[in-house]
Structures are given as C-alpha cells and as structure tokens.
Structure 1
C-alpha cells in the first residue's frame, strides 16, 4: 500500500457519497459503457490500480469526477465533456486535465484558461473555447474552484467539501484522503461516532480536539447523511 501514500483511496461508493454522484455513474465513466450497441471507453484511466478487477479512485480521480459532474449539471452534454477531456489532454498534456484550475463553463461551452505573456512582458489571462478553438474574454467563474487548494502548476492539492469555514478537508496526504478535521487530522466519521457515544465534551477529551471540531464533524456527517437520504 506504500505506493498509495499521497494519492487517496476511494471505492465508487465512497466517492459517490462525498460527491453526491451515483456510484453507478462513476463506474460508467471510469469503466466505459455501451449505449445502443456503441461502446464508449472510459473518460480516463484511474490513477489507482491494485491489480484486481475492482474499481478504485485516487484523489485526482475524485476531483476529475467532481468537475465532470459539475459540467453535466450545468447543462453541458456528456459527449461534449468527453471531447473536452480529449482536447484538453492534448493542450495541457495532463492525464486528468479537468481537475486543474484552468477550466470554466457557462453551461453550454467549456473553456480552458490560458495565461500568456505579451511583448511587454505582461501576463494576460484568456479563455480558449475548446470547441470553437477561439479565445473568449475572461468573465466566467466556476464556483467549484473556490473550495479547492491548487499547487502552482494548477494541480489540485486539497478539497474543502463543506466550504473552508467547516474546517473539514479531503487531503490525499492524510488518512488516505478521507474527510478529516483539518486541525487534528482525525476522520470526521470517527469524531461523529465518538460524539454519539460519549457526547460532545467526552469526544473532545478522548481525541484531544476542541468541542468546535467535534460539532463541525457531527454537522458534516449529518449533512451528508441527509443528502444521501434525499
């Protein structure tokens, strides 16, 4: 399991719970599927391969699925998302291009953010329409980027699934990418279960965390349980 350190590890069911995306849909996207006799290959190759006939996702896969789902929810046809991945993979030379911080959508088209330097040495940011292959003026902001920390090269590092104020983070370098209390690194599932058994104060004492951390973990787990039941 040493090769998985820093990558995160999720089953389709675990990924679906975090992302609110049906695990069956995640399976179709990453295994490929047939429609009316035509086979559509996987959107990309998952970064986790345990040598079994089981599907696992890494953190980059999790972030890629999140963006694919956001695009489709915004009204972008699935076939266009597939094309965007293929085009972007060639443009920025990344296996998981959609999970970088370079993408935007207005619900119809998908744009790739390009930063270049003009003849005066000044940087300019433009949006390349991946289908018309022409530059658009900047003005499309994808809100899902606000909850992700990115590296200087644009790769995703951490995800704050309930927003930064909740202080719950998904970090592939800690607890195999499970949601954790950002201050203590204890999984939210563990803190919430302890609160149910020992109460807020007892759980805080047992894990040497603040009562606020326990409350946030309980709220986080409760919100996901409610979403899954909806």
Structure 2
C-alpha cells in the first residue's frame, strides 16, 4: 500500500483534478498520478508547486480494478476522508468531489445536523446529507474542534445550487446565443467566487454571471447570431423558459 508520496510535480490535469508526481531522481523514476479532493486542488492550483509531499489513500475500484491514489496535504484530511467514504452510497469519487470545504467545517455541519451546509457541497443532495449525518454524527467530534488543521481555512469553497438552477441558467445563456462552453465556464467561475453568497434562484445566478462577463442584467443584448432571441426583447413578461417550460427571470425589459 502506498501511504505517502514525495516528488516533483511534472503535470497537472484540470479535468480530473489530478497531478503526476515523479518520485525518482533527475534521471527519472516512477511517475504516479494522484487525484486531489476539490479543496486540496484549489489550495494548490494557483501556485502549483514544483515539489509535493502528499499523504495518500490507495483505492482499487471493484468494477475497474485499476489502482487509484487520492492525495492530501495533511494526515487529518486523509483520516476524515476515510470516514466519509464509509458512508453508504458515498464512494471515493463522490467524496473526492465533495471535500470542497475544510475538514472542521464539514465535521461541524455533521455534528450540528446542518443539512443546508452539507447540501452546498458538490454532489451532495438532501438524502446523501442525511446519510452522512446518520452515519458520522458523534464520530467526527475531534475534527469539528480543529482550528488550524484540515484544509486551509482560506480555501475557496465552490458552493453550487441545485442541478435544476444550474441547468436553467445554462439554458438561458444558450438562448441568449452564448456557447455551452462559455456558459459552463462562466457559471463555474461565479460559483467558485470566494465572496459570493450562494445563489438561491436561477435569476440570482444569471445576474451574477452577466455581471461577471461585463453585461448589464436584463438590458444588454449578447452577441446572438441571426435573429434576436425572444429572451433579449424588452417589455413586460419577458424572461426565459427553463426545464419543463417553467419561466425563469422576467419582469420589465430595458
């Protein structure tokens, strides 16, 4: 079992939130790909150090017997991760994504039965939050009392709204003529902003996205190719139609 890795970071992979680490000398050695939980990735992505020293969790999936290494900056993080993956229907991949806040923040939410905080973690819905609380309450008291350990307290936490809100915001931006790639990129940037309160409605999320790209909400038309989209016209009763035909936004036009 591989419990710790130290070496040169030779490549970073944004899509999979992973880093390749060369453990050999200058002549080269074994190169390991290590996946990083969201908070660890965010703590490292800005400066991307040349040398990494990571505590690791070794995992072999049942369906695809290819070993996977999950890396952590501190042993505390790894210990908490191992408790989290023991929760029913959690799994290594989901836990890797969900660890987007400090260990103490998540542990405090568990001990306080704070479903709202837990459901703001990526990939955690209401039912999964209930499972986490039921399984770990009383078992993470020490982690909940941590102050300067666990993930950096300044690490950005990408708090995401429900899937429906994000999906409706994407559809609205597509209706306005933006590409899906841009829509996904802008929504991700807004949701990962450290000083933004979590949007509770599609309208809030859209307004934040439009402000992010330098537009004035509801009035400035985007670069739509062809005919003007109905969503950009002024007048009463405007707005977009989200999933299932329900109205998103609206009100007075510019």
Task: Kindly name which structure, 1 or 2, has the bigger radius of gyration based on alpha carbons.
Answer: 2
TM-score (normalizing by structure 2): 0.29
Q: Using structure 1 for the length normalisation, give the TM-score.
A: 0.31
Higher normalized helix content (fraction of residues): 1
